[in-house]
Amino acid sequence: MKTAVIFYSLSGNTAYIAEILKDRLDADLIWIRPKKEYPDKGLKKFYLGGKDAVRSEEPELEPCGFDPDRYDLIILGTPVWAGTFAPPLRTFLNRERNSLQKKKIAAYCCCSGSGGEKALTRMERFLESDPFMERMVLIDPKEKRSEVNSHTIDDFCANIQKEH
């Protein structure tokens, strides 16, 4: 069986990490995309994204081709918006909730400050599943590459390989 990295990315940080995980874990990438994309600049970016996150909105998604029967390990990736995971991922998780119940799940998030652990905990509770086998929080990994982020990614991948 295989690993899938299922993620949503607006500014590119979450996608950047998804690509790293794909290469290191020989995983498939499944990019979640809303039919109507969020603005990626200016005040509208924070207002609209934050509003939808706080209100637990579930935007309509483009088809992503996810087949749960192909995977035994799912790695979920999200930016942190208003202290929680992004609305497009919420839509996906709500739609796939039953198929994910039987899977091993790990998760990561990217943010510019605090709130990462809180967002992952909210995602875990939303899924009503066993605790994630591994969690990772990264601060601006694409824009501000650092030794801390590199070590965090190394540890995340090593722990997943050990448990998988």
pLDDT recorded at residue 42: 63
* Threshold 0.85, pTM exceeds: yes
Per the CB < 8 A criterion, the answer to whether 27 and 77 are in contact is no
CA gap 72, 23 in Å, rounded: 18
CA gap 28, 134 in Å, rounded: 18
**CATH number, span 2-163:** 3.40.50.360
pLDDT recorded at residue 54: 61
pLDDT recorded at residue 143: 85
Q: Which two tokens stand for residue 58?
A: 């579930």
Per residue in 139-162, pLDDT (tens digit) is: 999 888 889 899 999 999 999 998
Q: Where are the beta strands (DSSP E) in the chain?
A: 2-7, 28-31, 71-81, 84-85, 104-111, 134-139
**Cβ neighbours for 108, distance < 8 A, ≥ 6 positions apart:** 14, 17, 21, 75, 76, 77, 78, 120, 135, 136, 137, 138, 156
pLDDT recorded at residue 15: 97
Closest CA to 75 of 101, 97, 100, 108: 108
Q: Could you state, in order of their start, the residue ranges of all structural domains in the chain?
A: 2-163
pLDDT confidence tier of residue 102, bands split at 50, 70 and 90? confident
pLDDT confidence tier of residue 96, bands split at 50, 70 and 90? very high
Task: Tell which phi-psi region holds residue 129, choosing left (phi > 0), alpha (psi between -120 and 50) or beta.
Answer: beta
Per residue in 105-131, pLDDT (tens digit) is: 999 999 988 889 999 999 999 998 888
Of 59 and 49, more confident: 59
Q: What is the helix (H) or strand (E) element at residue 154, kind and residue range? A: helix 147-163
